[in-house]
Amino acid sequence: MGNILTKIIDEKEIEVARLKETGLKGEALQVTRPSLVEQLRTAASMSVIAEIKRASPSKGEINLDVNPVEQALTYERNGATAISVLTDEKFFKGRIEDLQQVSQHVAIPRLCKDFMVDEIQIDRAYESGATVILLIVAALSQERLQALYTYAKQKGLDVLTEVHDEEELERALAIDAEIIGINNRNLKTFEVDLAVTERLASRLDSNRHLIISESGIKTVADVERVKKAGARGILVGETLMQAADLPETLKQFQLTL
């Protein structure tokens, strides 16, 4: 306890209370909503979920001046499977408006990357054009995990269920999660190790579960490594936000499966 994840979750509870007071728009953006599951299942090459990430608690500033729409369009043009938009303001310097704008400009799936603790955040993500939400197993009781998962699926959203160790993986399997994100970064200590993907993916049937390796992917060798472990997709933020040649880097990561 006393780690960054607990701190973020405490902050989210406050944000949710505020959100409930203000209320939502009550109308969703009229945008196409392609299925990420479908894309992952049929892809012949490594799927890249490319992230819009200005800053993070572990790295500080990453790219504060980014234009989210321009960045998302570059991702889409160069073969990204989906766009991940960090919408947390306090710790990641994102905003929900980034997701709204990106959703109006790209046709590929959009992941609302935030710390979901309440249904109202899922409603807001949907209104803002998301097609996928993230659920972090470490941040939720089993009961809340199940409830939020069911709620999101009922709205037609895909769910990326994030795990970091064996116990969390068991909990993800218990709710029958289909897309499993293995986070190489420990959200409590910030330590990054691609061996986490290797260890946890070896416990999964990669035909049944869609495995996404998340965080710390920097080189084509890293992509090779998680591909060998059974990943169908990778979630990449920092490396793409800081790439000297973004189109080239992004294309290189799309290894044939």
Contact positions vs ligand IGP (CB under 6 A)? 51, 53, 113, 136, 162, 183, 214-217, 235-239
Looking up tokens 């990420």 gives: 36
User: For the packed helices 119-127 and 4-22, what is the interaxial angle rounded to 10 degrees?
Assistant: 70
Between 32 and 89, whose beta carbon lies closer to ligand IGP? 89
Between 87 and 128, whose beta carbon lies closer to ligand IGP? 87
User: For the packed helices 142-154 and 166-174, what is the interaxial angle rounded to 10 degrees?
Assistant: 50
Least distance (Å) from ligand IGP to the CB of residue 26?
A: 27
Between 30 and 223, whose beta carbon lies closer to ligand IGP? 223
| CB distance 39 to 109 below 8 Å | yes
Q: Which is the catalytic residue, given 12, 47, 53, 186?
A: 53
Least distance (Å) from ligand IGP to the CB of residue 214?
A: 4
Between 31 and 93, whose beta carbon lies closer to ligand IGP? 93
Least distance (Å) from ligand IGP to the CB of residue 111?
A: 10
Between 108 and 235, whose beta carbon lies closer to ligand IGP? 235
Q: What are the distances in angstroms from CA 88 to CA 20, 98, 195?
A: 17, 10, 28
Helices of type H across 1-157: 4-22, 36-42, 68-77, 96-105, 119-127, 142-154
Structure-block tokens of residue 231 = 């990943």
Q: Is 214 a catalytic residue?
A: yes
- Give the whole-angstrom CA distance, residue 8 versus residue 218: 26
| Position of minimal CB gap to ligand IGP | 237
Q: Which is the catalytic residue, given 12, 78, 113, 198?
A: 113
Q: Which of 200, 252, 187, 195 has the alpha carbon at shortest distance from 50?
A: 252
Q: Which is the catalytic residue, given 162, 168, 178, 238?
A: 162
Backbone Cα Rg of the chain: 17
| CB distance 129 to 103 below 8 Å | yes
Chain center to CA of 158: 11
Q: Is 202 a catalytic residue?
A: no
Least distance (Å) from ligand IGP to the CB of residue 30?
A: 28
Least distance (Å) from ligand IGP to the CB of residue 23?
A: 26
Q: Is 213 a catalytic residue?
A: no
- Give the whole-angstrom CA distance, residue 92 versus residue 61: 9
Q: How many CA atoms lie within 13 A of 208 on its CB side?
A: 8
Q: Is 113 a catalytic residue?
A: yes
| CB distance 190 to 183 below 8 Å | no
Between 105 and 218, whose beta carbon lies closer to ligand IGP? 218
Q: Which is the catalytic residue, given 15, 51, 127, 168?
A: 51
Least distance (Å) from ligand IGP to the CB of residue 236?
A: 5
Q: Is 84 a catalytic residue?
A: no
Residue positions annotated with a catalytic role: 51, 53, 113, 162, 183, 214-215
